[in-house]
């Protein structure tokens, strides 16, 4: 008979869930993880990873179309939509196998099905239709001393913009389209909306983005978002800010959208498909949180800095525990949670000011810490530095000379308050500033760090130097 009693059970196997389970096993806990659909969760299967595979295909296609810019030639350049999507799904399959391997390696029991919390450390699991990994336990009653909820999030639904799997897509359908649309309306300009807008535009679709707020990519620094917008518009993406979609009129294979421009006028556009990308909400329903009295707020579970809820023995991490809803936040939050449970010395609560955000559009956008506006609102007397890609040798050699790096310092202490980037490969550069912030590095240390040449990373140092009137290569 299978063992049904555990020290730690994690509900949900997304990046936060499976990393938490691994760390729990490392700490000596008898650990199980519950999953109802696919190991790796939304991120691995329908989010972070497959979108990057799609965007890579679009990037290569872009370079092929612009081969002449590099002294090369490529004739009759085209793409096979089915092959592009097949590559993306193959990446997913490979990573899923990796998660299963890690569970087995760390002797973590996989329980397959829908979990319901029954109270007092008890939970039950019911069968789902999704095929279970080899050796997984199934439906039945289980117990655990510590239950960590990592159920993630799902697309937010606005009335009138509900996904119908054909004409109105969520990110699920956008990643695996039934056809390649010639025209597309994207509602929402956060990371998900902008990445899909960038992907489909690069492959030739006419794309319109509608954002209800006055700025696209609303969480980003206004200067960065403004620059990105100009680049998107140069690529032919039409962007409407301060606007909202008030009506969708669906035809057999097209949609006519009525758009209120926020200034008293409306316009209608007809497109092949609509992508609803108006955010996500936590998966808090249907598994017993209400019954146990677990406190929630605005669609997320309320926790302290260590993942603890108001109910003893129940914890939450990742998207379901609130913003920022990012995979790397979920992973770190999970490690903090389980280490606190285990009594590991020196565990610090999550500092959300040091969680980076990355958007893999063209050009890429990456940021950490306070925007210039937020820094001023918080009362800081600040120094701001900027450095343009157009003054960097590596960027020019790459043919990617559009973008800039922006740094924000506390004038009084030299503390790095925020760093914001737009341009080629900035999602890979942002970690440098993350390390600096975690080490409480001041401008002095950054200015005396030797960066390699020629690299894009040199711009990071120059943006620091600029904040203090010492920039060299401008």
Contact (Cβ atoms closer than 8 angstroms) between residue 427 and residue 328 = no
Residue 329, CA distances (Å) to 119, 173, 189, 318 in order: 28, 26, 21, 7
Which tokens in the block code for residue 194?
Answer: 């902008």
Distance CA 361, CA 456 (A): 18
CA distances from 249 to 182, 211, 246, 253, 258 (A): 18, 19, 10, 11, 8
> Distance between CA 426 and CA 232 in Å, rounded?
16
Q: What are the C-alpha distances in Å from 149 to residues 8, 11, 133, 285, 303?
A: 11, 5, 21, 12, 11
Beta bridge partners of 77: none
Of these residues, 146, 332, 420, 453, which one is catalytic? 453
Q: Which tokens is 346 given?
A: 């020196």
- The residues near 140 (Cβ < 8 Å, ≥ 6 apart) are 2, 4, 124, 125
For residue 124, the cross-strand partners are 116, 141
Cβ atoms 123, 254 nearer than 8 A: no
Tokens representing residue 47 in the block: 């989010």
d(CA 341, CA 102) in angstroms, rounded, equals: 22
332 is catalytic: no
Q: Which residues of 301-339 are buried (b: 16+ CB within 10 A; e: fewer)?
A: bebeebbbbebebbbbbbbbbbbebbbbbbbbbbbbbbb
**Buried-exposed string 20-40: b where 16+ CB fall within 10 A, e elsewhere:** bbbbbbebebbbbbbbbbbbb
Query: Which residues are marked as active site?
Result: 453
């Amino acid at each position: 008979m299978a063992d049904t009693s555990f020290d730690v059970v994690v509900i949900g196997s997304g990046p936060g869930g499976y990393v938490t389970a691994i760390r729990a096993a490392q700490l000596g806990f008898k650990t199980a993880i519950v999953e109802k659909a696919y190991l790796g969760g939304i991120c691995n299967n329908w989010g972070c990873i497959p979108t990057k595979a799609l965007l890579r295909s679009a990037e290569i296609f872009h370079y092929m179309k612009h081969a002449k810019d590099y002294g090369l030639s490529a004739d009759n350049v085209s793409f096979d939509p089915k092959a592009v999507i097949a590559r993306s799904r193959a990446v997913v399959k490979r990573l899923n196998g990796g998660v299963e391997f890690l569970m087995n390696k760390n002797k973590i029991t996989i329980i397959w099905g829908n979990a319901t919390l029954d109270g007092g450390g008890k939970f039950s699991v019911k069968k789902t239709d999704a095929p279970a990994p080899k050796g997984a336990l199934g439906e039945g009653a289980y117990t655990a001393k510590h239950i960590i909820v990592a159920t993630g999030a799902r697309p937010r639904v606005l009335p009138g913009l509900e996904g119908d799997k054909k004409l109105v897509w969520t990110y699920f359908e956008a990643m695996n389209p039934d056809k390649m649309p010639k025209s597309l309306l994207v509602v929402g300009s956060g990371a998900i909306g902008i990445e899909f807008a960038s992907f489909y535009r690069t492959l030739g679709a006419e794309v319109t983005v509608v954002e209800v707020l006055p700025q696209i990519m609303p969480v980003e620094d206004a200067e960065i978002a403004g620059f990105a917008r100009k680049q998107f518009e140069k690529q032919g993406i039409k962007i409407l800010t301060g606007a909202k979609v008030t009506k969708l009129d669906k035809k057999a294979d097209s949609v006519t959208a009525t758009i209120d421009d926020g200034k008293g006028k409306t316009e209608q556009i007809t497109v092949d498909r609509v992508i609803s990308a108006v955010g996500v909400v936590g998966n808090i329903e249907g598994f017993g949180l209400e019954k146990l009295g677990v406190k929630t707020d605005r669609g997320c579970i309320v926790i302290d800095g260590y993942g603890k809820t108001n109910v003893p023995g129940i914890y939450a991490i990742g998207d379901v525990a609130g913003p920022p809803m990012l995979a790397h936040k979920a992973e770190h939050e999970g490690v903090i949670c389980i280490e606190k449970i285990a009594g590991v010395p020196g565990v610090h609560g999550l500092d959300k000011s040091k969680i980076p955000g990355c958007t893999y559009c063209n050009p890429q956008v990456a940021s950490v810490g306070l925007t210039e506006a937020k820094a001023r609102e918080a009362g800081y007397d600040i120094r701001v530095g900027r450095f343009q890609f157009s003054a960097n040798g590596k960027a020019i050699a790459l043919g990617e000379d559009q973008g800039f790096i922006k740094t924000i310092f506390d004038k009084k202490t030299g503390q790095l308050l925020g760093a914001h980037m737009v341009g080629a490969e900035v999602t890979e550069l942002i970690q440098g500033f993350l390390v600096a912030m975690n080490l409480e590095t001041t401008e002095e240390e950054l200015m005396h760090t030797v960066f390699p040449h020629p690299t894009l990373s040199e711009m990071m140092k120059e943006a620091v130097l600029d904040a203090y009137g010492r920039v060299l290569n401008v």
